[in-house]
């Protein structure tokens, strides 16, 4: 395996900022800032990376494509499914920087599927399966797929040796060839755990967060929470990296498994926010008066004593607000972030018995929700709702626009979402 850190550094020198919200009106707010071909109008298709479920449909993990064009005869309906074979704990996806391909990973068997969504986004095609990730890197659980210029950066959750939480980052070409590996730090307070990636190109800074290893995330949730040893095996840190050098610079103590990272997208707002799953808090990462990066808790999410389990979050394009989903009570909450030091909950709505992922359009007028967290962590019986719900947001209330019952449609467990549109609906960065 080549370990070409110099090549990565040169690529990162080509970094360009994300275009302003006035030029991009519909794309997701949580994409990599290095992506081109951004949606300039209404998103047209929503893709859901779906876990196969035994006894449901073909039982295979699959990419489900939904028409979300207003006024379309098939609006809010499934128009295409692409099964990839087997069940390997389908989890997250990410676009390549040219937006033509979508990488979708599985946390159990470590396969990565490269899907062509550029040729015809209404009918994605599988063009490559990367099956050497674990054997060539010693890491397992490819989780976050983050576009760099001409490259893909992948955060793994675990390792081959003991299936614990010590892990690392892997850089690959857009074609899927491994370039370099970067272990999560174990010194200066580092615990070696990883989860999400967030990059601020203007500051040459990358943030990573932390979760847990294969042994925990493949365990039944009810069994795990009763196991004191297992509950100790969660990440308690975030790491600030020098992006060009791909070197960790500072480790922050952030107890309780900090998950999704969202940098403020408003120009000049050099701060990021995350939520901790086990302690139900929002944490802010920003520079202090001495220009030193610090992390601190700034708000509770629901009642931490009830462990609502904050999961996915979505920041507004102008960084004024943040959607936060809590899995256990199936609720989404909206926080006012105008003062990120003091977020305030201003709205909440129960979406279902369980809710995990949230994706909002760039203009903030449409918000989508899915249900599944992990196959062995989802609720059982009547609580095991599996759906995609699309809402319109008028600034005061979420109004249901459509709903797809993934159980009823024999599709499986609905997890991660991404938007696409046909070529004429996309615009390149200036």
Using CA of residue 190, residue 194, residue 195, residue 197, what is the dihedral sign? positive
- As a whole number of angstroms, the distance between CA 352 and CA 309 comes to 15
Provide the CATH number for the domain formed by 5-13+28-292+357-427 in this structure. Answer: 2.130.10.10
Distance of CA 170 to CAs 136, 180, 349, Å?
10, 6, 38
Using pLDDT thresholds of 50, 70 and 90, give the confidence band for residue 180.
very high
pLDDT at 25 over 70: no
pLDDT tens string 77-111? 999 999 999 999 999 999 999 999 999 999 999 99
Using pLDDT thresholds of 50, 70 and 90, give the confidence band for residue 430.
very low
Which H/E stretch holds residue 12?
helix 5-12
What residues form DSSP beta bridges with 404? 388
pLDDT tens string 116-138? 999 999 999 999 999 999 999 99
What residues form DSSP beta bridges with 152? 147, 172
Using pLDDT thresholds of 50, 70 and 90, give the confidence band for residue 36.
confident
């Amino acid at each position: 395996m080549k370990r070409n850190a110099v090549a990565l550094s040169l690529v990162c020198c080509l970094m360009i900022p994300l275009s302003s919200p006035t030029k991009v009106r519909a794309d997701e707010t949580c994409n990599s800032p290095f992506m081109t071909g951004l949606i300039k109008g209404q998103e047209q298709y929503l893709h859901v990376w779906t876990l196969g479920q035994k006894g449901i449909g073909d039982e295979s993990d699959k990419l489900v494509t939904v028409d979300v064009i207003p006024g379309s005869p098939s609006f809010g309906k499934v128009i295409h499914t692409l099964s990839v074979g087997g069940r390997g704990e389908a989890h997250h996806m990410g676009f390549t920087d040219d937006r033509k391909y979508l990488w979708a990973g599985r946390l159990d068997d470590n396969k990565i599927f490269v899907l062509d969504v550029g040729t015809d986004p209404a009918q994605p095609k599988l063009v490559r399966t990367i099956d050497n990730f674990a054997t060539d890197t010693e890491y397992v659980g490819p989780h976050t797929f983050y576009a760099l210029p001409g490259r893909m950066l992948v955060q793994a959750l675990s390792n081959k040796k003991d299936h614990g939480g010590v892990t690392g980052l892997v850089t690959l070409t857009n074609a899927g060839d491994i370039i370099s590996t970067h272990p999560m730090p174990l010194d200066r307070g580092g615990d070696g755990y990883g989860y999400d990636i967030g990059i601020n190109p203007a500051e040459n800074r990358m943030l990573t967060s932390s979760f847990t290893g294969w042994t925990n995330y493949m365990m039944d949730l009810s069994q795990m929470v009763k196991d004191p040893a297992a509950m100790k095996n969660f990440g308690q840190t975030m790491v600030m990296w020098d992006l060009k050098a791909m070197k960790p610079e500072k480790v922050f103590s952030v107890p309780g498994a900090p998950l999704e990272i969202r940098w403020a997208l408003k120009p000049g707002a050099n701060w990021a926010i995350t939520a901790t799953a086990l302690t139900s808090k929002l944490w802010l990462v920003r520079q202090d008066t001495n220009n030193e990066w610090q992390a601190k808790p700034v708000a509770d999410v629901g009642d931490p004593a009830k462990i609502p389990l904050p999961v996915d979050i979505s920041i507004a394009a102008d960084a004024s607000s943040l959607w936060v989903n809590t899995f256990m009570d199936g609720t989404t909450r909206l926080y006012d972030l105008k003062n990120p030091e003091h977020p305030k909950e201003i709205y909440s709505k129960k979406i279902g018995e369980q809710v995990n992922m949230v994706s909002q359009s760039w203009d903030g007028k449409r918000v989508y929700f899915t249900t599944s967290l992990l196959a062995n962590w989802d609720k059982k019986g009547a609580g095991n709702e599996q759906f995609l719900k699309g809402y319109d947001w008028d600034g005061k209330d979420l109004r249901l626009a459509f709903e797809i019952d993934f159980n009823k449609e024999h599709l499986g467990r609905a997890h991660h979402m991404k938007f696409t549109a046909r070529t004429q609906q996309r615009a390149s960065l200036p």
